[in-house]
Amino acid sequence: MNVLLAVSGSIAAYKALDLLRALRRRGHVVRVVLTQGALEFVRPETFRYLGAEKVYLPTDDFNSATPGVPHVDLGKWADILAVAPLSADTLAKLADGRCGDFLGSIFLAWRQNRPVLLFPAMNTMMWHHSFTQEHVARLNRLAYVRVVDPAAGLLACGDEGAGKLMDVEALADVIGILDPLKTRAHHALITTGATVAPMDPVRFLTNPSTGKTGVAIARAFLAEGSEVTLVTGNAAAEGLTALRAHPRCRVIEAPTTAQMLAAALEHAPTANTIIAAAAVADFEFTISAEKVKKDGLRELKLHPAPDVLAELLRQRRPGQRFVSFAAETDTSELVFREKFARKPVDLMIANRVDAGFHGRREGFGEDAGTYWFVTDTATTPPRELTKRELAQEILRWDLQS
């Protein structure tokens, strides 16, 4: 993707250097536009050194050495315009349609069939000011523009609150999956990650699932314009920061099986597609109020945990599509058919797993794996897929269903 990265005059401008690197790692071609304010904080040579294809200065629109009409030509070249960081001053100028500098001219000449993403960074009082919020609302009324709310935290000025530029890696991910022009009247409910079975106030039983699969699936559905509800057992799963920042994504933390079931049941009635990718704890303890001593371990009692998928299927609405996952060490057709028969879904994805304690780690925490696609009539041969490729396969199946 061709990304036009504009940097305005915020103390967070130095983070745009890391953002450039993050975008290039994801395979994007990046050109950079610096406002006059940005030049107070960063130097154009640094962006060139870090791999920007071209770097434009505030007056380059009027530079006779630059061929064509740069503020028009850049809009034809770029697939997306991202302004990060976006200062309060630049926000106001864009909202007012002023084109007193290169960036303002680019914005007004922008083709409205391509997205513009704006990432504010400013003092929290400035962010919450009524004028700023009016500017945000005005820009968000443009179908191709989205102002992404800043993060909250300790700001450079010492204040604490909203106004912080979001994490650079998350920001690069959002640029790759957020297109305000892509909207699909579709809601995907996805469960992911491991749930835990608490034993006492400090210990619990769980498994090595990281939640990577569900995050990859959520990214694929968001990029296609769906609304996504992601119920995760892993609150710190890689990629969640970007999903939390996405305006069409709802991330719900549900560490225990009971909590995951409650969250899934709450959001299932509006879901068109339900994808059960979580590695749910199958058993629960009768939880001790105090830490269990060694001599009390023999007294621990296990009982079956709620079956999240079975309960969702029991409350299935007409027209809903279900995808389930079967993480197995025995990947025989007999095992697949038995599991499918117990909880019949539209598509079951089986994969081989091993935590790696006694052999090669497989499935859990890996970026790729071996998968079988199981329906009521057939099972495909095993396929080696990355989790991104797997997510695209599920999305393609959903679009064609």
Confidence of residue 334 (pLDDT cuts 50, 70, 90): very high
Locus of tokens 């991910």: 173
Decide: helix, strand or coil at residue 387: helix
Q: Does residue 357 surpass a pLDDT of 80? A: no
First CA to last CA distance, the chain: 29
In 3D space, the residue among 264, 272, 265, 223 whose CA is nearest the CA of residue 243 turns out to be 223
With tokens 């749930």, the residue in question is: 195
Query: Per residue in 133-157, pLDDT tens?
Result: 999 999 999 999 999 999 988 888 8
Nearest residue to 192 (alpha-carbon basis) of 221, 231, 137, 151: 231
Q: What angle do CA 372, 374, 375 make, to 5 degrees?
A: 160
Q: Specify the pLDDT at position 172.
A: 97
Per-residue model confidence (pLDDT) at position 391: 98
What pLDDT is attached to residue 253?
A: 97
The answer, yes or no, to whether residue 401 has pLDDT greater than 90, is no
Q: Render 312-350 in DSSP notation, one character per residue.
A: HHHTPPTT-EEEEEEEES---HHHHHHHHHHS--SEEEE
Q: What is the pLDDT of residues 198-227, one digit of tens each?
A: 988 988 888 889 999 999 999 999 999 999
Instruction: Give per-residue pLDDT as tens, 296-327.
Output: 677 778 889 999 999 999 999 999 999 999 98
- pLDDT (tens digit, 9 = 90+) per residue, 276-300? 999 999 889 888 888 888 776 777 7
Domains in the chain: boundaries: 2-177, 187-400
**Residue keyed to tokens 């504009």:** 6
Residue from 79, 173, 71, 83 nearest 122 by CA: 83
Q: What is this structure's pTM?
A: 0.90
Among the residue ranges 8-12, 236-240, 266-270, 351-355, the one predicted with the least confidence is: 351-355
Annotated catalytic sites, by residue?
71, 157
Q: In this structure, how many other beta carbons lie within 10 angstroms of the beta carbon of residue 368?
A: 14
Confidence class for position 84, pLDDT limits 50, 70, 90: very high
Whether 2-177 shares its CATH topology with 187-400 is answered yes
What is the per-residue pLDDT for 249? 97
CA 74, CA 56: separation in Å to the nearest integer? Answer: 10
pLDDT at 355: 65
Better-scored residue on pLDDT, 158 or 108: 108
pLDDT for 236 equals 83
One-letter amino acid at 116 equals: V
Confidence check: pLDDT of 89 > 90: yes
pLDDT at 66 exceeding the cut of 70: no
Task: For residue 272, give the nearest of 221, 326, 234 by alpha carbon.
Answer: 221
Query: Is 192 in contact with 214 (CB distance < 8 Å)?
Result: yes
Amino acid 62: pLDDT = 76
* pLDDT at residue 65 in the model: 64
Q: Could you confirm whether domain 187-400 is CATH 3.40.50.10300?
A: yes
Spatial distance between the Cα atoms of 39 and 59, rounded to a whole number of angstroms: 12
In this predicted structure, the answer to whether residue 243 has a pLDDT above a threshold of 90 is yes
**CATH, domain range 2-177:** 3.40.50.1950
- In tens, the pLDDT along 9-49 reads 999 999 999 999 999 999 999 999 999 999 999 999 999 99
Residue 123 pLDDT: 94
Q: Which of 228, 232, 276 is nearest to 252 (CA)?
A: 232
* Mean of all residue pLDDT scores within the chain: 93
What are the φ/ψ torsions at residue 310 (nearest 5 degrees)?
-60, -40
